[in-house]
Amino acid sequence: MPGEVLSEDILPVPANPSVPLKLGPGLRHTPPSTVTTTFAGLLSVDRKKNAIWVEHNTGKYIPIPNDVVIATIHHSSTDSFHCSLAPYTSLALLPHLAFESATKKTRPQLSSGALIYARVVSASKYQDPEVACFNPSTGKSEGMGELKGGMRKEV
């Protein structure tokens, strides 16, 4: 929690005493040897690098598989649409054939700025998320696809 003083036994002990302790985000050093947290989160320690930091939720959306989202089409490439799930996040991929009964001839033609209702199929910290406009277990759209009419409002 913010303002919590870390005890000496939590701090990593370097193999080489000449290597200084590296404090990362979320920690503040108060001389002579007090280390205090500045925001809430999970305390992470890397003993090899003699580093310590606080990992926290920054408030941005992090996609998780099976989340249902409303995405904005950013642009299209040869085999997929690139969608924005939230501001300041990487673009999600929506394959052209990720719609109910879609083929190369019957795939939807979505323009930039179109809104879609989709489900996150895969998401990883190391790669862009992938979304689809159908339920993979049934193959049915279940109301997913392009949203027509109405207005979009930022909250």
Q: How many other CB atoms are found less than 10 A from the CB of residue 26?
A: 20
51, 22 Cβ separation under 8 angstroms: yes
52, 44 Cβ separation under 8 angstroms: yes
Residues 58-81: tens digit of each pLDDT? 777 888 999 999 999 999 999 999
Q: Is the peptide bond before 20 cis (omega within 30 degrees of 0)?
A: no
User: What single-letter DSSP state applies at residue 54?
Assistant: E
Predicted TM-score (pTM) of the model is 0.62
Residues 98-114: tens digit of each pLDDT? 999 888 888 889 999 99
Radius of gyration of the chain (CA): 23
